[in-house]
Amino acid sequence: MNPDALAIFWPFGIFISMLFIIGLYCVLATFNLVRALIGLELLIKAVTLLLVVAGYISNNLALAQALVITLIVIEVVVMAVAMGIVLGIHSHNSSLDLRKLKNLKG
Amino acid sequence: MLINIIILICLILSGLWTVMTRSLLRAALGLALTSIILTIIMFRLGSPLAAVFELSVCSGLISVLFISTISLTEPMSQQETLKHMRQRLVRFWYLPFVIVAAGIALSFLKMPLDFKLSVTETMQTVRFILWDVRQLDLIGQVIILLSGVFGVVILFREGEKR
Amino acid sequence: MSSLLILVPLICVMIINLPPRKIFSKLGFWVALVLSLSQIYSVMTLPLYRWNSSFEIISSNFKFNLLVDSLSLVMLVSISIVLLSALLVARELIRDEKKMLNFLSLLILLQAGMNAVCVITDIFSLYVFIEIISVISFILIAFNKDRDAFEAAFKYIVLSAVATMFMLASIALFLLIAGDTSFMSIKAGLADSQHSLIIMFGVGIFICGLFIKGGVMPFHGWLVDAYSSAPNSVSIMLAGIITKTVGIYTLIRLVSLVFGFDSAARNVLLALGALSIVGGALAALGQNDFKRMLSYSSISQVGYIIIGLGCGSLLGVAGAVFHLFNHSIFKSLLFVNSAAVESQAKTRDMDKICGLAEKMPLTATTSVIATLSAAGVPPFAGFWSKFLIILALWISGYHAYAIIAILASVLTLSYLLTMQRKIFLGKLTSELSNIREAGFGFGFASLILSFIIVGVGLVFPFIINSFLVPFWNFLGV
């Protein structure tokens, strides 16, 4: 095992997991729909950074960059569809409050 | 390495500000700021193409999407927002302590954490990999962009029956 | 040949959306019909070596690494049968031309995505096509733009995106130990780093993401709302094949090929499978809305597949795959019939509907066939798959789980028969007296599906050898 690789991995690993936890907290603990989407975006950034770090350590940056580019394209489409659905909810309920979405029970 | 750690701390701080701030508009701007700091880190790690993509798409396009959605939908009134923020912070006061304590406890256990790293020797360019090796991903991107177009046409059509 | 599975639907979508929309939009339905039927036909007739060889023109331009084996063939035939029935139902329910064209384009793109997931050998491309399927299902759930559908779609988006992030994080961790993202490199890398906690954490997180996407019991929060609030033709697809492909098929493929059946994985699969079976069945008992009851029943049947997979033996995995096929057929039939009932009675509350059997005889009969297959009553197809799973559990020594599976079968029979009794038997109430039999599309789809159930059930004892032998090769046992 390469001791150098693990030494680089650890600081990045800690910060990436902190960003991941911040993103998860934002998704789980918010009352506003758009804030949940912002939390999702933070999660995506954490995973992007993890991919680039993994590529950097294993000297495979070309593959990692290709994966990151594909990932960014896909996430833009997911965000666009999510925005459409948020606008649809707003047009029905006139508010973006998550607690008002109690129409479906159980 | 020290500079990397400083930039990473800035990343975490801007992430925290994005989550904790009161108004939605500032949260969207915080997201763009986080994207810019992430771009700097990726540049330093030697992946310029991915960094430029991230900068132009995530801090450009997605911020425009968020800000247009926020401006099209009325945010909650200021009083309600302040009350929620205070409630949220009070509810989760124990969370940072729990995480730090868990981290310290984990670092004392002797866990087998080494893995066999695989290092590639050949140096291929991103262009070669994207267009020649991962063609299936390109077909996938075409399909998802097409379905995104259909989705936007269906979901954003105004004046439909409710 | 296998790359045609992805390229042909893509080209068809581009063709039916060309500018002279008036001409091409009329062709849309027939194009989609021909695509599904030709996929069924080619799975039935082409042998495996023809699937894996390719034409010169295609393989010189497109270098995909696709592999078709017997598990992929089972999935391909289920996908095309479910899409065919959803197409026939959609023809009845969607009347507007433009909406129908959008729906058909999304359906054909969905077919391309699901075909790709079944034949891929690379974990990142698997993520790309799983996201394609998810995005198309978000759009389809919100297709009719009513309030419940938007709420269900939002919950689904958030949970599905969190699951995707888990899967991507573990792909990044796998990139550390394998130089590439193909299944074989990851398997080789995992063999070297078995002891490392980081890599095992990556494997665990990936499987958690797959459980969220597949709707296994503690992670099933989005499933019931999404299935019941979606438009009817979309519910057929969601319950019949989408969740199965994205969650359960991927789980079977990865656990068998890449991660391997070690005892920790087996215990987790068995425990969660048993929890899903019992939890889904108990929750279904108390529902008034028949679509929600069918959704909880889906969770319960997925538990059977997971518990068969957790067994680890050849018989268990073969039983699990066969139950996947059976579940997609009988659950689609139940959803087609519920769409027929809802389109005629205009309500989903079971307490308000009574005695429809005299007015809708075809729907009632096919619904009884689906109920008996779901509960595992011979000679229908469901009996054989449940029998294989319970037999595999008993032989491998997990007697407690086998008894749970048998008892839950009784529960399944009870709530599905309750649904039958409430909707179809009894006296016809006065406000429902002018109901007719549902349209031609519903009837045709339910007839095809019930023929498949009865046919497979009767023929299975004779083909059991040729069914199990491909699984020897597949598992490398």
**pLDDT of res. B81:** 58
Decide if B3 touches A, using CB distance below 8 A.
no
Give the gap in angstroms from C-alpha B155 to the nearest C-alpha of chain A. Answer: 6
Give the gap in angstroms from C-alpha A105 to the nearest C-alpha of chain B. Answer: 21
Residues of chain B positioned with their CB less than 8 A from the CB of C64: 135-136, 139
CA distances from C166 to C277, C376, C400 (A): 25, 35, 32
**pLDDT of res. A1:** 43
Q: Which residue has the tokens 């961790």?
A: C173
Report yes or no on B24 lying in a domain. Answer: yes
Give the gap in angstroms from C-alpha B141 to the nearest C-alpha of chain C. Answer: 8
**pLDDT of res. B162:** 44
C445 contacts C336 by C-beta, under 8 angstroms: yes
B48 contacts B74 by C-beta, under 8 angstroms: no
C320 contacts C308 by C-beta, under 8 angstroms: yes
pLDDT in tens, C387-422: 999 999 998 888 889 999 999 999 999 989 888 888
C13 contacts C109 by C-beta, under 8 angstroms: yes
CA pair distance C121, C4, nearest whole angstrom: 16
Q: With a CB-CB cutoff of 8 Å, which residues 177-206 of chain C face chain A?
A: 179-181
One domain for residues B1 and B64: yes
pLDDT in tens, C121-157: 999 999 999 999 999 999 999 998 888 899 899 999 9
The amino acid at residue C341 is: V
Q: Which residue has the tokens 């005892």?
A: C263
C104: closest chain B residue by CA: B150
CA pair distance A53, C280, nearest whole angstrom: 41
C463 contacts C59 by C-beta, under 8 angstroms: no
Q: Coil, strand, or helix at residue B122?
A: coil
Lowest mean pLDDT among A68-82, B67-81, C102-116, C272-286: B67-81
B38–A45 CB contact, under 8 Å: yes
C102 contacts C140 by C-beta, under 8 angstroms: no
Q: Which of C134, C138, C157, C206 to mutate to test the interface with A (most CBs of A within 10 A)?
A: C157
B127 versus C206: which is more confidently predicted? C206
For Cα atoms C8, C13, C15, give the angle at the middle one, nearest 5 degrees: 95
User: pLDDT at residue A105 above 60?
Assistant: no
Q: Coil, strand, or helix at residue C288?
A: coil
Report yes or no on B116 lying in a domain. Answer: no
Q: What is the mean pLDDT of residues B55-67?
A: 91
> For C438, left (φ over 0), alpha (ψ -120 to 50), or beta?
beta
A91: closest chain C residue by CA: C147
B95 contacts B103 by C-beta, under 8 angstroms: no
Residues of chain A positioned with their CB less than 8 A from the CB of B62: 41, 76, 79
pLDDT band at C69 (very low <50, low <70, confident <90, very high): confident
CA distances from C372 to B48, C321, C365, C413, C453 (A): 60, 19, 11, 7, 10
C432 versus C443: which is more confidently predicted? C443
Q: With a CB-CB cutoff of 8 Å, which residues 282-321 of chain C face chain A?
A: 283, 287, 292
Q: What is the mean pLDDT of residues C422-428?
A: 79
Q: CATH code for A3-100?
A: 1.10.287.3510
Report yes or no on B137 lying in a domain. Answer: yes
DSSP chain A: --HHHHHHHHHHHHHHHHHHHHHHHHHHT-SBHHHHHHHHHHHHHHHHHHHHHHHHHTT-HHHHHHHHHHHHHHHHHHHHHHHHHHHHHHHHHSS-BGGG--SS--
Q: What is the mean pLDDT of residues C434-459?
A: 85
Give the gap in angstroms from C-alpha B102 to the nearest C-alpha of chain A. Answer: 12
Domain that holds residue B26: 1-77
The most confident of A46-60, B75-89, C48-62, by mean pLDDT:
A46-60
Lowest mean pLDDT among B108-122, B145-159, C363-377, C431-445: B108-122
CA pair distance B102, B112, nearest whole angstrom: 17
**pLDDT of res. A3:** 61
Give the gap in angstroms from C-alpha A60 to the nearest C-alpha of chain C. Answer: 7
Nearest to residue C163, comparing CAs of C130, C107, C208, C224? C208
Decide if B120 touches A, using CB distance below 8 A.
yes
Residues of chain C positioned with their CB less than 8 A from the CB of B115: 176-177, 193, 196, 198-199
**pLDDT of res. C170:** 93
Of B77, B104, B139, the residue at which a domain comes to its end is B77
User: pLDDT at residue A60 above 60?
Assistant: yes
Q: With a CB-CB cutoff of 8 Å, which residues 34-63 of chain B face chain A?
A: 34-35, 38, 41-42, 45-47, 49-50, 53-54, 57-58, 61-62
B142–C196 CB contact, under 8 Å: no
B121: closest chain C residue by CA: C179
Q: Which chains touch C (3 or more CB pairs under 8 A)?
A: A, B
Residues of chain B positioned with their CB less than 8 A from the CB of A4: none
One domain for residues B5 and B62: yes
Query: Within a 10 A sphere around the Cβ of A17, how many other Cβ atoms?
Result: 15
Candidate from C10, C135, C189 with C-beta closest to B118: C189
CA distances from C277 to A35, C1, C372 (A): 35, 38, 17
Quick one: tokens of B72? Answer: 């099209």
pLDDT band at B86 (very low <50, low <70, confident <90, very high): low
pLDDT band at C179 (very low <50, low <70, confident <90, very high): confident
Candidate from A68, A73, A83 with C-beta closest to B65: A83
A86 versus B99: which is more confidently predicted? A86
CA pair distance C30, C222, nearest whole angstrom: 33
Q: With a CB-CB cutoff of 8 Å, which residues 123-142 of chain B face chain C?
A: 132-137, 139-142
Query: Within a 10 A sphere around the Cβ of C184, how many other Cβ atoms?
Result: 14
pLDDT band at B88 (very low <50, low <70, confident <90, very high): low
The amino acid at residue C276 is: S
Decide if A20 touches C, using CB distance below 8 A.
yes
C425 versus C89: which is more confidently predicted? C89
For chain B, the domain total comes to 2
CA distances from B130 to A63, C208, C249 (A): 8, 29, 27
Residues of chain B positioned with their CB less than 8 A from the CB of A5: 117
Give the gap in angstroms from C-alpha C295 to the nearest C-alpha of chain A. Answer: 12
**pLDDT of res. C398:** 86
| Residues above pLDDT 90, as percent of chain C | 34
Give the gap in angstroms from C-alpha C475 to the nearest C-alpha of chain A. Answer: 30
Let me know how long chain A is: 106
Quick one: tokens of B106? Answer: 């984990």
CA pair distance C387, C393, nearest whole angstrom: 10
**pLDDT of res. B111:** 67
CA pair distance C44, C54, nearest whole angstrom: 18
User: pLDDT at residue C190 above 80?
Assistant: yes
Report yes or no on B110 lying in a domain. Answer: no
Q: What is the mean pLDDT of chain B?
A: 81
Q: Taking the mean position of all CA atoms in its chain, how far away is CA C23?
A: 34
pLDDT in tens, C340-394: 888 888 887 877 777 777 788 888 889 999 999 988 888 888 888 999 999 999 9
CA pair distance C448, B89, nearest whole angstrom: 57
CA pair distance C142, A81, nearest whole angstrom: 10
C17 contacts C24 by C-beta, under 8 angstroms: yes
Interface confidence, given as ipTM, is 0.93
Q: Which residues of C262-296 are buried (b: 16+ CB within 10 A; e: fewer)?
A: eeebbebbbebbbbbbbbbbebbeebebbbbbbbb
| Residues above pLDDT 70, as percent of chain B | 79
**pLDDT of res. C397:** 85
**pLDDT of res. C82:** 93
C112–B143 CB contact, under 8 Å: yes
Residues of chain C positioned with their CB less than 8 A from the CB of A84: 142
pLDDT band at C53 (very low <50, low <70, confident <90, very high): confident
**pLDDT of res. A104:** 58
CA pair distance C355, C435, nearest whole angstrom: 11
User: pLDDT at residue C111 above 60?
Assistant: yes
Give the gap in angstroms from C-alpha C124 to the nearest C-alpha of chain A. Answer: 8
**pLDDT of res. A73:** 94
A65 contacts B50 by C-beta, under 8 angstroms: yes
